[in-house]
Structure 1
């Protein structure tokens, strides 16, 4: 698993503020269509960017709680001026009473969780009857990343998958939700497409973090990981990256 220490947390914040991820949060909020006064739980709230935006939508009569297992992420989130309440916690042990929330949101979190059934059961527990859960995760089979060495790219991506409990979770989520007593009501794709040299993109921001993680894994040496990243940065106008995030909304029965 990735360790979200202070350095990595701040690097991820830079990625989360790229136009790609700003657009992703906008799309999530459009799907959710939050109403004033709703109570919302952000499971794995990270630096709090989505939680803050949701707090603006539910207004003064609403409430947003964010939980995260990373002290570094919580420290960043708490330094922002926001009405969100943050606390330490994880998807398998939500520190809240039964039927406390109208909405629960989990973005890029469940693919890290070994016990996805337990996580969905916890989300259902804290939702009120008729409450809705939004889950966004990536199916890493959807990635297209141009490289001058396709064989090396395949090995790098295979090593990168080791940081996830399930790199292909979205294809299983509808059935898992139904089994947990959550009825899928909506589904959508949020694509990320980066074409040409631009440092202010999701994939450019992830390059260094990814190269550091794969070094020493899956037969990838540190020199090879560096050469992989340098190759991508050298592509200029030929740079190409695409991936799909999958969004599911389910209601509690």
Structure 2
């Protein structure tokens, strides 16, 4: 996951803890494996992982003989990635300015990145620049309006989800993947959706973040946000939490 703004160390560390928990889930492992397959990641190929975070995908790609480069604009993220994976190639950079030569990589991967970008078209132009002719691109992300959460107060849940989404630069980027790729000049565009279903406490930090973000906008009060997350915690304790999260996976080829 990446940011185009500079976070505090505390927020980065909290984000890494959340990502570590989410990335360890079977559904997340399956999604990463799918992305490697769609990108054509084989021994001897090269891939740039944009928004690499703590470097899990770079390490996994390396285990398959792929020459992987991880980039992230957050210096703290790159510091942690280098500490965790000393042999990895990690560089501080954002999606708009990749530290790579023209036509220098076979694949481009961005997982949970494009909803943070003000100018996705600019990022895709940069992807085209660094990809070889016929190179593959894979974009993964959720549509932030489509968190499906069971709650005793559906109206408040809708308000929380939509208010949190509106804090992002591109909360609905995932539903635009196909058209963005086509308009950028990519071909052979495919899109599929893999929906993760979560019923335990693992995703409580994510739900707490949704309620806190919605509260910060003034759309919901502190009391409403506290009541909502308290209900979700109670549901988790009673094995009654339900969150369905559709993940969009788009793949395409650079023109030859």
Instruction: State whether TM-score is above 0.5.
Output: yes
**What residue in structure 2 maps to residue 11 of structure 1?**
14
Residues 1:209 and 2:213 aligned together: no
Q: How does 1:104-253 map to 2 (within 5 A)?
A: 104-195=108-199, 198-199=200-201, 201=202, 203-235=203-235, 236-253=238-255
Question: Which of 74, 77, 92 is the equivalent residue of 1:73?
Answer: 77
Structure 2 CA distance for aligned equivalents of residues 241 and 176 of structure 1: 28
* 1:117-139, Cα deviation, whole Å (9 max, x unpaired): 11111101100001111111212
Shift in Å, 1:96 = 1.6
**What residue in structure 1 maps to residue 47 of structure 2?**
40
What is the DSSP-based 3-state SS (H/G/I as helix, E as strand, rest coil) of the residue aligned with 1:158?
helix
TM-score scaled by length of structure 1: 0.89
Shift in Å, 1:144 = 0.9
Listed as ranges, the gaps of 5+ residues in structure 1 are none
TM-score scaled by length of structure 2: 0.88
Listed as ranges, the gaps of 5+ residues in structure 2 are none
Shift in Å, 1:230 = 1.0
Contact 2:181 2:189 in 1 (8 A): no
Contact 1:15 1:21 in 2 (8 A): no
Structure 2 CA distance for aligned equivalents of residues 143 and 70 of structure 1: 26
Structure 1 CA distance for aligned equivalents of residues 74 and 159 of structure 2: 29
- Aligned-residue RMSD, C-alpha: 2.0
Deviates more, 1:116-125 or 1:207-216: 207-216
Structure 1 CA distance for aligned equivalents of residues 29 and 212 of structure 2: 25
Shift in Å, 1:210 = 2.8
Shift in Å, 1:3 = 6.5
